[in-house]
A = this chain, B = another copy of it.
Amino acid sequence: MSLLQREREIIVSNEYIDRFDFEEVEEFIKGASKNLFISHTFKTTDHMLVQPRGGFPTYNKVFQLYKEFKEAHVDVLPLTIDSNTRLNDYASAKKMLALSEENDVDMLNGYPLVNHGYRTTRKMITHYDTPVSLRHGTPDARLLIETALASGIFEIEGGPITYLLPYSKNFPMDKAFLYWKYVERVCAKYSELNEPINRESFGPLSATLQPPAIVIVIQLLEMLLSLEEGVKSFSVSFSQTGSMLQDIVSSNVIKKLSRKYADRFGHEDATINLVYHQWMGAFPYNKEYSDSLINTSTVIAAMVGADKIITKTRNEAFGIPTKEANAMAVANVKYTLGMLKGLPTVSDEEEEENLTNEVDEILEAVFNDGADTLWRKVFNSIKKGYVDIPFSPHIINANEVITIRDPQSNIRILKKGKLPISDRSFAFERSKIKLAEGERVVDKIIQDIGIML
C-alpha cells in the first residue's frame, strides 16, 4: 500500500463518517456520467458557464435548491460547505445539523458534507447529472475532498493559500500545504479514471481591496502546485475589482501568464480556464441596486471573456439567499449573457505591462527562495511578506501591504511592505493615486471598501 493510500485510510476513519469503500468509489468514478465533469463541459461548450453559490444544512433543502437552479438553466451547481466543517469542527456541525433538521431553521451556513456522507450525497448529485463545484474554504480539506469526490463532485475549489489566508486565523500554513498536496494527488489519481477532475483556485481572497498583482501571483502559484501533482485541468480566478479596465487588464494578464508559467514548468498538456467572480465585497442594502451590481458584473465578465462566472444574489447584504432569489439571479445572468452581443476586444498596453512586470517580479523572488520544493519556497515567501494580502485574518500574513483606489477605482498599492516589486513598478502604482489634501488613509480605505454601497 502506498504512503498516500495509507494516509487516506487514516483520514477516512473518522468517528463522524460511515465506512469508506475506496474500491466502490473508484468504480463509481470510472463509470460516472461525463455530464458530472466540468472539465468535459468546458471542452464541449462555447458559452460562458454560469454557477451560483449555495448550500443549506439539510439534504432536502439542497435538493430543492438544485431543482430551482436547474429550472433557471444553471450550467454548474454549487455545494457550499458550512463554516464548522470548514474548520474541521464536525462535532459542532453535527449538533447544528440536528437542530436544523428538528426545528426547520437553518443553524448552519452551508451543507455539512462530511456529516451527510458520500452515500447520501451521491444520490443527489447523480440525480441532477450536472457538474457540481465544491465551495468550502477549508485549510485541511482532506476528508472533505474524499467525501466530495466519492459523491460525484468533480470540481474542487481552493488551495493552500487561497483557502487559508482569507479563511483562517491560525491554522498552521505548512500543514495546509501538505494537506492540499494530498488533495491534489487524490484529484490527479481520479483524473486518470475518466475525465479530469477540475481544480479551481479562489482568486477573490479576502474580497477587499486585493491588488491584482498579488491575486495573480497566488493564482499562478496554486496552479503550479496543483499541476506539479498531476492535475490536468485547472481554473484560475479573480473577482470584480471595481474598475472595468482593471478587470480587463487582470484578465488579459492572467490568461497570458497562466499559460506561460504552466508551459514553463512542463505542463503543456494541462487545460487552464478562467473564472470570474461577480463583486465579492460589501453589497448594498438595496435589492434593486444589488441586481444592478450583479448585472454590471455580468457584462464585465463577458467583456473579460471568462469561461465561467460565479454569481451573487440580490440578498447578498442580508444573508444566505433563498433558493428563489438565487435561481432568479442565475436566470438573469443567463438572459444577459444570451443577449449581450458585439463585445469589443479591449486592452491597455501600459497597464498590462506593469501588471505583468509586478507578477514576474514577485514570482522571481519566490522561485529564488533557497528552499528545495516549490511549496516550501511559497511558504517562506509568505512568511517573509513577499506575498501579503490586505485584510487577511491569518497570523502568518504580513499585513503590511496597503491598497487604496485611484480616481478610476483601480486598486493601487500605497504601501508595498515587503513585496518584491521593482521601484519602477511601485512608482507606477503610486503615480496613479490621488489622495485629497489632508485626507486620512483610513477614511479613504473605508470609503474604498464601500464603493458599491
Contacts and interface: CB of A to CB of B under 8 A. Distances in A.
A292 B348 CA distance: 28
21 contacts: A242-B342, A243-B341, A244-B340, A244-B341, A244-B344, A245-B343, A245-B344, A246-B342, A248-B344, A288-B291, A288-B331, A288-B332, A289-B331, A291-B291, A292-B295, A292-B332, A292-B335, A296-B336, A296-B340, A344-B346, A344-B348
A126 interface: no
Contacts of A342: 241-247, 408-410
Contacts of A247: 342
Contacts of A243: 341-342
Nearest to A407: B341
A451 B336 CA distance: 11
Counting contact residues on chain A (CB < 8 A from B), the size range is: 35 or more
A299 interface: yes
A339 interface: yes
A346 B291 CA distance: 26
Contacts of A362: none
A452 interface: yes
A332 B289 CA distance: 6
A248 B289 CA distance: 25
A257 interface: no
Of residues A247, A291, A336, A342, which shows the largest number of chain B Cβ atoms within 10 Å of its Cβ?
A342
Contacts of A359: none
A414 interface: no
A293 interface: yes
Contacts of A244: 340-344
Contact of A289 (B245, B299, B335): B335
Interface string A307-345: 000000000000000000000100110011001111110
Interface string A60-104: 000000000000000000000000000000000000000000000
Nearest to A328: B288
B295 A291 contact: yes
Nearest to A290: B335
A342 B335 CA distance: 25
Contacts of A286: 335
Contact of A296 (B289, B299, B409): B299
Contacts of A292: 291, 295, 298, 332, 335-336
Contacts of A289: 331-332, 335
Nearest to A289: B335
Given A248-B344, A293-B339, 6 more contacts: A244-B340, A244-B341, A245-B344, A292-B332, A295-B295, A341-B410
